[in-house]
Amino acid sequence: MGSRSILAVVAVALVAGVSADINTIVGNFALNLECLEAEFYSYAVYGHGLNDTLLGGGPGSVGGQQATFLLESTRQYATEIANDEINHVADLRALLGAAAVPCPKLDIGPAFAAAVVAALNGSQKAKDYPFSPYANDIFFLHGAFLFEDVGVTAYEGGATLITSPTVLSYAARILAVEAYHAGIIRTLLFEAGVTPTPYDIQVVELIQKISDLRGSLGSGMDQGIVDPPFEGGVYYGANKYWSKGYTANLVPTDSQSLAFARTVRQVQNIVYGAIDATQGLFFPEGMNLPSS
Protein backbone atom coordinates (compact mmCIF):
# COMPACT_ATOMS: atom_id res chain seq x y z
CA MET A 1 0.00 0.00 0.00
CA GLY A 2 1.53 3.32 -1.06
CA SER A 3 1.99 6.45 1.01
CA ARG A 4 -0.98 8.25 -0.52
CA SER A 5 -3.16 5.35 0.64
CA ILE A 6 -1.96 5.44 4.24
CA LEU A 7 -2.53 9.18 4.45
CA ALA A 8 -6.01 8.73 3.00
CA VAL A 9 -6.81 6.01 5.53
CA VAL A 10 -5.58 8.19 8.39
CA ALA A 11 -7.70 11.10 7.14
CA VAL A 12 -10.82 8.94 6.89
CA ALA A 13 -10.20 7.49 10.34
CA LEU A 14 -9.80 10.96 11.82
CA VAL A 15 -13.10 12.13 10.32
CA ALA A 16 -14.89 8.99 11.46
CA GLY A 17 -13.31 9.08 14.90
CA VAL A 18 -11.93 5.55 14.53
CA SER A 19 -8.91 5.91 16.80
CA ALA A 20 -8.09 2.19 16.78
CA ASP A 21 -7.46 2.31 13.04
CA ILE A 22 -5.11 5.24 13.42
CA ASN A 23 -3.12 3.53 16.15
CA THR A 24 -2.92 0.29 14.17
CA ILE A 25 -1.75 2.08 11.04
CA VAL A 26 0.88 4.12 12.86
CA GLY A 27 2.02 1.03 14.78
CA ASN A 28 2.43 -0.94 11.57
CA PHE A 29 4.26 1.94 9.92
CA ALA A 30 6.73 1.81 12.82
CA LEU A 31 6.90 -1.99 12.48
CA ASN A 32 7.97 -1.68 8.84
CA LEU A 33 10.83 0.61 9.85
CA GLU A 34 11.84 -1.64 12.73
CA CYS A 35 11.86 -4.66 10.39
CA LEU A 36 14.33 -2.79 8.18
CA GLU A 37 16.63 -1.81 11.02
CA ALA A 38 16.46 -5.20 12.72
CA GLU A 39 17.25 -7.10 9.51
CA PHE A 40 20.25 -4.86 8.83
CA TYR A 41 21.74 -5.05 12.30
CA SER A 42 20.96 -8.75 12.70
CA TYR A 43 22.82 -9.59 9.51
CA ALA A 44 25.71 -7.27 10.37
CA VAL A 45 26.21 -8.84 13.80
CA TYR A 46 24.94 -12.41 13.51
CA GLY A 47 25.12 -13.14 9.79
CA HIS A 48 21.40 -13.86 9.47
CA GLY A 49 18.11 -12.02 9.52
CA LEU A 50 15.03 -12.27 11.72
CA ASN A 51 13.34 -15.60 12.30
CA ASP A 52 10.02 -16.36 10.64
CA THR A 53 8.03 -15.46 13.75
CA LEU A 54 9.51 -11.98 13.91
CA LEU A 55 9.16 -11.57 10.15
CA GLY A 56 5.49 -12.41 10.59
CA GLY A 57 5.72 -14.72 7.60
CA GLY A 58 7.22 -11.97 5.45
CA PRO A 59 9.85 -12.60 2.76
CA GLY A 60 12.81 -11.14 4.62
CA SER A 61 15.62 -9.24 2.97
CA VAL A 62 18.20 -9.42 0.21
CA GLY A 63 21.81 -8.31 0.31
CA GLY A 64 22.57 -8.78 4.00
CA GLN A 65 25.82 -10.29 5.28
CA GLN A 66 27.89 -10.42 8.43
CA ALA A 67 30.00 -7.32 8.83
CA THR A 68 33.78 -7.31 9.15
CA PHE A 69 34.45 -5.56 12.44
CA LEU A 70 38.10 -4.71 13.01
CA LEU A 71 37.45 -3.22 16.45
CA GLU A 72 35.88 -5.17 19.28
CA SER A 73 34.30 -1.95 20.54
CA THR A 74 32.41 -1.48 17.26
CA ARG A 75 31.21 -5.07 17.37
CA GLN A 76 29.88 -4.51 20.89
CA TYR A 77 28.10 -1.28 19.91
CA ALA A 78 26.57 -3.09 16.93
CA THR A 79 25.49 -6.07 19.03
CA GLU A 80 23.70 -3.92 21.59
CA ILE A 81 21.86 -1.99 18.86
CA ALA A 82 21.00 -5.20 17.00
CA ASN A 83 19.44 -6.74 20.10
CA ASP A 84 17.45 -3.56 20.74
CA GLU A 85 16.09 -3.48 17.19
CA ILE A 86 15.18 -7.17 17.24
CA ASN A 87 13.34 -6.59 20.51
CA HIS A 88 11.51 -3.61 19.00
CA VAL A 89 10.06 -5.86 16.30
CA ALA A 90 8.94 -8.30 18.99
CA ASP A 91 7.53 -5.45 21.10
CA LEU A 92 5.45 -4.04 18.25
CA ARG A 93 4.16 -7.48 17.27
CA ALA A 94 3.07 -8.06 20.86
CA LEU A 95 1.43 -4.62 20.97
CA LEU A 96 -0.42 -4.99 17.66
CA GLY A 97 -1.32 -8.65 18.05
CA ALA A 98 -3.28 -10.08 15.13
CA ALA A 99 -3.26 -6.64 13.46
CA ALA A 100 0.52 -6.74 12.96
CA VAL A 101 1.56 -6.98 9.31
CA PRO A 102 4.31 -9.24 7.93
CA CYS A 103 7.65 -7.55 7.32
CA PRO A 104 7.87 -6.47 3.68
CA LYS A 105 10.60 -7.40 1.22
CA LEU A 106 13.69 -5.42 2.18
CA ASP A 107 16.92 -4.51 0.40
CA ILE A 108 19.83 -4.20 2.84
CA GLY A 109 22.60 -4.63 0.27
CA PRO A 110 22.53 -2.91 -3.13
CA ALA A 111 20.23 -0.21 -1.74
CA PHE A 112 23.06 1.17 0.39
CA ALA A 113 25.33 1.44 -2.64
CA ALA A 114 22.56 3.15 -4.61
CA ALA A 115 22.00 5.64 -1.80
CA VAL A 116 25.68 6.59 -1.72
CA VAL A 117 25.78 6.97 -5.51
CA ALA A 118 22.81 9.33 -5.21
CA ALA A 119 24.42 11.22 -2.33
CA LEU A 120 27.56 11.70 -4.44
CA ASN A 121 25.54 12.89 -7.43
CA GLY A 122 26.27 9.85 -9.57
CA SER A 123 30.02 9.89 -8.90
CA GLN A 124 31.91 7.39 -11.03
CA LYS A 125 34.02 6.42 -8.03
CA ALA A 126 30.89 5.55 -6.10
CA LYS A 127 29.91 3.28 -8.98
CA ASP A 128 33.38 1.77 -9.30
CA TYR A 129 33.64 1.11 -5.55
CA PRO A 130 30.10 0.16 -4.47
CA PHE A 131 29.46 1.12 -0.88
CA SER A 132 28.82 -1.76 1.53
CA PRO A 133 28.02 -1.21 5.21
CA TYR A 134 29.41 -4.68 5.91
CA ALA A 135 32.93 -3.95 4.63
CA ASN A 136 34.47 -2.42 7.75
CA ASP A 137 33.75 -0.54 10.96
CA ILE A 138 33.56 2.91 9.36
CA PHE A 139 31.21 1.87 6.58
CA PHE A 140 29.02 0.02 9.07
CA LEU A 141 28.62 3.30 10.95
CA HIS A 142 27.69 5.05 7.70
CA GLY A 143 25.03 2.41 7.06
CA ALA A 144 23.66 2.86 10.56
CA PHE A 145 23.66 6.65 10.07
CA LEU A 146 21.44 6.25 7.02
CA PHE A 147 18.72 4.78 9.25
CA GLU A 148 18.99 6.06 12.80
CA ASP A 149 18.20 9.76 12.41
CA VAL A 150 15.29 8.88 10.12
CA GLY A 151 13.84 6.56 12.76
CA VAL A 152 13.93 9.29 15.40
CA THR A 153 12.12 11.78 13.17
CA ALA A 154 9.56 9.14 12.13
CA TYR A 155 8.57 8.35 15.72
CA GLU A 156 8.44 12.02 16.62
CA GLY A 157 6.17 12.75 13.65
CA GLY A 158 3.98 9.69 14.18
CA ALA A 159 3.33 10.59 17.81
CA THR A 160 0.97 13.38 16.74
CA LEU A 161 -1.41 10.82 15.20
CA ILE A 162 -1.53 8.39 18.12
CA THR A 163 -4.60 8.48 20.35
CA SER A 164 -4.00 5.37 22.46
CA PRO A 165 -2.01 6.00 25.68
CA THR A 166 -0.62 2.47 25.46
CA VAL A 167 0.61 2.89 21.89
CA LEU A 168 1.97 6.35 22.69
CA SER A 169 3.92 4.95 25.63
CA TYR A 170 5.47 2.26 23.42
CA ALA A 171 6.33 4.85 20.77
CA ALA A 172 7.91 7.23 23.29
CA ARG A 173 10.03 4.52 24.83
CA ILE A 174 11.21 3.20 21.46
CA LEU A 175 11.89 6.78 20.32
CA ALA A 176 14.18 7.27 23.30
CA VAL A 177 16.16 4.15 22.44
CA GLU A 178 16.43 5.16 18.77
CA ALA A 179 17.73 8.57 19.84
CA TYR A 180 20.39 6.91 22.01
CA HIS A 181 21.39 4.79 19.01
CA ALA A 182 21.59 7.84 16.75
CA GLY A 183 23.72 9.70 19.28
CA ILE A 184 26.16 6.80 19.56
CA ILE A 185 26.53 6.54 15.78
CA ARG A 186 26.95 10.28 15.28
CA THR A 187 29.57 10.48 18.04
CA LEU A 188 31.62 7.63 16.59
CA LEU A 189 31.45 9.17 13.12
CA PHE A 190 32.50 12.57 14.47
CA GLU A 191 35.52 10.94 16.09
CA ALA A 192 36.36 9.35 12.72
CA GLY A 193 35.65 12.51 10.74
CA VAL A 194 39.17 12.92 9.32
CA THR A 195 39.27 9.35 7.96
CA PRO A 196 39.57 9.14 4.16
CA THR A 197 37.10 7.13 2.07
CA PRO A 198 37.47 5.53 -1.39
CA TYR A 199 35.50 8.45 -2.82
CA ASP A 200 38.27 11.06 -2.43
CA ILE A 201 36.50 12.70 0.49
CA GLN A 202 36.72 12.28 4.24
CA VAL A 203 34.11 10.71 6.48
CA VAL A 204 32.82 14.12 7.60
CA GLU A 205 32.05 15.08 3.99
CA LEU A 206 30.47 11.75 3.04
CA ILE A 207 28.19 12.02 6.06
CA GLN A 208 27.28 15.59 5.09
CA LYS A 209 26.38 14.44 1.58
CA ILE A 210 24.22 11.60 2.93
CA SER A 211 22.51 14.10 5.23
CA ASP A 212 21.99 16.48 2.31
CA LEU A 213 20.40 13.66 0.29
CA ARG A 214 18.01 12.83 3.13
CA GLY A 215 17.19 16.50 3.50
CA SER A 216 16.44 16.86 -0.20
CA LEU A 217 14.01 13.94 -0.01
CA GLY A 218 12.56 14.58 3.44
CA SER A 219 11.84 18.32 3.29
CA GLY A 220 15.03 19.35 5.05
CA MET A 221 15.25 18.61 8.78
CA ASP A 222 18.61 16.89 8.50
CA GLN A 223 22.12 17.73 9.65
CA GLY A 224 25.62 16.34 9.33
CA ILE A 225 28.04 15.81 12.19
CA VAL A 226 29.66 19.26 12.22
CA ASP A 227 28.32 22.79 12.44
CA PRO A 228 28.23 24.70 10.19
CA PRO A 229 27.53 22.08 7.47
CA PHE A 230 30.78 20.84 5.96
CA GLU A 231 31.41 22.50 2.60
CA GLY A 232 34.35 20.46 1.35
CA GLY A 233 38.11 20.71 1.43
CA VAL A 234 40.33 19.21 4.09
CA TYR A 235 38.87 18.59 7.54
CA TYR A 236 41.35 18.60 10.41
CA GLY A 237 39.07 17.27 13.09
CA ALA A 238 38.39 18.72 16.52
CA ASN A 239 41.49 20.92 16.47
CA LYS A 240 40.80 24.50 17.45
CA TYR A 241 43.73 25.80 15.37
CA TRP A 242 42.83 24.08 12.10
CA SER A 243 39.13 23.24 12.23
CA LYS A 244 38.10 26.39 10.29
CA GLY A 245 35.28 26.99 12.73
CA TYR A 246 33.67 23.54 12.50
CA THR A 247 32.38 22.18 15.80
CA ALA A 248 30.64 18.96 16.79
CA ASN A 249 26.98 18.56 15.87
CA LEU A 250 26.06 15.33 17.60
CA VAL A 251 22.38 16.12 18.21
CA PRO A 252 20.42 17.30 15.14
CA THR A 253 17.78 19.78 16.30
CA ASP A 254 15.89 22.85 15.19
CA SER A 255 16.67 26.37 16.43
CA GLN A 256 14.87 25.63 19.70
CA SER A 257 16.91 22.46 20.34
CA LEU A 258 13.90 20.28 19.59
CA ALA A 259 14.12 17.03 17.61
CA PHE A 260 12.88 17.12 14.04
CA ALA A 261 9.55 15.45 13.20
CA ARG A 262 8.78 13.97 9.78
CA THR A 263 5.49 12.94 8.22
CA VAL A 264 4.84 9.48 6.81
CA ARG A 265 5.34 10.86 3.31
CA GLN A 266 8.66 12.50 4.17
CA VAL A 267 9.98 9.31 5.75
CA GLN A 268 8.87 7.22 2.79
CA ASN A 269 10.54 9.63 0.37
CA ILE A 270 13.84 8.90 2.12
CA VAL A 271 13.58 5.13 2.46
CA TYR A 272 12.14 4.77 -1.07
CA GLY A 273 14.84 7.05 -2.46
CA ALA A 274 12.54 9.37 -4.41
CA ILE A 275 9.87 11.98 -3.77
CA ASP A 276 6.30 10.65 -4.07
CA ALA A 277 7.52 7.11 -4.84
CA THR A 278 5.42 4.17 -3.66
CA GLN A 279 8.35 1.74 -3.53
CA GLY A 280 12.08 1.60 -4.06
CA LEU A 281 15.54 1.59 -2.46
CA PHE A 282 15.25 -0.17 0.93
CA PHE A 283 11.61 -1.19 0.28
CA PRO A 284 11.68 -2.54 -3.31
CA GLU A 285 7.99 -3.50 -3.18
CA GLY A 286 6.90 -0.74 -0.81
CA MET A 287 5.88 -0.93 2.82
CA ASN A 288 3.38 -3.48 4.01
CA LEU A 289 0.55 -1.48 5.59
CA PRO A 290 -3.10 -2.27 6.40
CA SER A 291 -5.66 -0.99 3.92
CA SER A 292 -8.24 -0.18 6.54
DSSP string, 5-33: HHHHHHHHHHHHT-HHHHHHHHHHHHHHH
pLDDT (mean) for 276-282: 98
CB atoms within 10 A of CB 254: 12
Each residue's pLDDT tens digit, 107-157: 999 999 999 999 999 999 999 999 999 999 999 999 999 999 999 999 999
Residue 52 main-chain phi, psi, to 5 deg:
-65, -30
Packing angle between helix 264-272 and helix 3-16, nearest 10 degrees?
A: 170
Count of Cβ atoms closer than 10 Å to residue 19 Cβ: 15
Instruction: Please give the residue that has the higher pLDDT: either 234 or 5.
Output: 234
Whether the per-residue pLDDT at 2 is higher than 70: the answer is no
How far apart CA 147 and CA 168 sit, in angstroms, is: 22
- pLDDT tops 50 at residue 1: no
Cβ–Cβ < 8 Å for 266, 157? yes
Confidence tier at 233 by pLDDT (50, 70, 90): confident
Residues 6+ apart with CB under 8 A from 204: 189, 190, 193, 194, 224, 225, 226, 230, 235, 246
- pLDDT, position 21: 86
pLDDT at residue 271 is higher than 50: yes
Closest Cα to residue 91, out of 151, 25, 167? 167
When pLDDT is averaged across residues 255-270 and rounded to a whole number, the result is: 96
pLDDT tens-place string over residues 76-107:
999 999 999 999 999 999 999 999 999 999 99
The pLDDT assigned to 242 comes to 53
Task: Please compute the mean of the pLDDT values over residues 165-180 and round it to a whole number.
Answer: 96
Q: How many CA atoms lie within 13 A of 100 on its CB side?
A: 24
pLDDT in tens, 7-20: 433 433 333 333 44
Q: What is the rounded (10 degree) CA torsion for 277, 281, 286, 289? A: -100
Output the average pLDDT for the chain.
Answer: 91
| Separation between Cα atoms, residue 73 and residue 70, nearest integer Å | 9
Mean per-residue pLDDT for 172-194?
96
Q: What are the distances in angstroms from CA 7 to CA 100, 128, 267?
A: 18, 39, 13
pLDDT at position 24 over 60: yes
Whether the link from the prior residue into 228 is cis, omega within 30° of 0, is yes
Q: How many percent of the chain have pLDDT more than 70? A: 90
- The pLDDT value given to residue 240: 52
CA distance 275 to 219: 10
Q: What is the pLDDT of residues 42-89, one digit of tens each?
A: 999 999 999 999 999 999 999 999 999 999 999 999 999 999 999 999
Say what the pLDDT of residue 16 is.
35
> Which candidate, 169, 87, 61, 24, places its Cα nearest to that of 1?
24
